[in-house]
Amino acid sequence: MASSVEHRTINVNGINIHVAIKGPENAPVILFIHGFPQLWYSWRHQIEALSSLGYRAVAPDLRGYGDTDAPAEVTSYTVLHVVGDLIGLLDVVAPNQESVFVVGHDWGALMAWHLALFRPDRVKALVNLSVLFNPRNPSRKVIATLKAVYGDDYYINRFQEPGEIEADFAEIGTEKVLQEFLTYRTPAPLFLPKGQGFNGKPLDTPVVLPSWLSEEDVKYYTSKFEQKGFTGGLNYYRNLDRNWELTAPWTGAQIKVPVKFIVGDQDLTYNSLGAKDYIAKGGLKRDVPFLQDIVVMEGVGHFINEEKPEEISKHIYDFFQKF
């Protein structure tokens, strides 16, 4: 499959961005935005499916990942930088399309929410996976809140100090780290106690790959993360408070594009930070008024687009067909 995908490097917003593209030249574009610790490759099944159904699939490696540049400064990984990259990319790959379809997962979903928040004129409709819109709370910063709720071993808090978790990951080994993340399916917050494995299990606990994740998939991810390191991806987490400061002008702003949201009931994001309540009590619908559908997939974990590729591709196709 990968061989029929066109790979391009495009210079936008001061960096070189690697992007995978497949589908008819003038077809409507779907921009696929990956999360951590992933790559354009996370969308391999959707690229194949949606390009065969008459769309042009565009899936970049985000800044800091894969074959895209990784600026050295931690401060170069804010939502404003990344949304800037995406706008620049769209100007090049879809110059004649005023707005495009967008699909995001994990950090990619967070970037997609901000793309829709900052530039709703560029988003025709959005399918977001796993990570809910998180409206800015003007009265409290993100990291202090996470530390108060979950303590220092919570994975996001462990990621904050540059170099620290990288050293731990180097000790565990890139392939093992990726296997641990990609196979994680505990419906609860993730903790990374120092010197221990995920959620405190022994470091030498073997990882059994699920049917949807092949050795070949893991090898591809590993080759790219060995080459690039984890720092670029981790720097997104290191900008949570900076994002909070920079997005003050958008306090109380709604997402004003049509949205479908999909999450697995075993996803750690759905089982932490009050996610279920936020959906059930109408918070998401209040903040995303054109929310058209919420799908909770039973027995499905975090990496939903890889675990259930056919279903996710169908959800995307069915939703975008309306526009």
Query: Which H/E stretch holds residue 264?
Result: strand 259-264
Among 61, 69, 106, 287, the one annotated catalytic? 106
Q: Which residue has the tokens 């939903």?
A: 304
Query: Which H/E stretch holds residue 60?
Result: strand 56-60
Count of other CB atoms within 10 angstroms of residue 10:
19
Would you call 61 a catalytic residue per the annotation? Answer: no
What is the Cα–Cα distance from 80 to 13, expressed in whole angstroms?
11
Q: Which value, to the nearest 10 degrees, does the dihedral of the CA atoms of residues 223, 224, 230, 236 take?
A: -160
What is the Cα–Cα distance from 48 to 158, expressed in whole angstroms?
36
Among 41, 184, 237, 270, the one annotated catalytic? 237
Q: Determine the 3-state secondary structure of 47 from DSSP.
A: helix
Residue 246, classified by CB atoms within 10 Å of its CB into exposed (0-12), middle (13-18) or buried (19+), is middle
DSSP state letter for 61: P
What is the Cα–Cα distance from 31 to 72, expressed in whole angstroms?
26
What is the Cα–Cα distance from 146 to 156, expressed in whole angstroms?
8
Among 34, 114, 302, 315, the one annotated catalytic? 302
Largest CA distance in the chain: 53
Would you call 150 a catalytic residue per the annotation? Answer: no
Q: Which value, to the nearest 10 degrees, does the dihedral of the CA atoms of residues 16, 72, 231, 228 take?
A: 50
The Cα angle at residue 59 between residues 123 and 4, in degrees rounded to 5: 130
What is the Cα–Cα distance from 313 to 48, expressed in whole angstroms?
9
Would you call 81 a catalytic residue per the annotation? Answer: no
Catalytic residue numbers, as ranges: 106, 237, 302
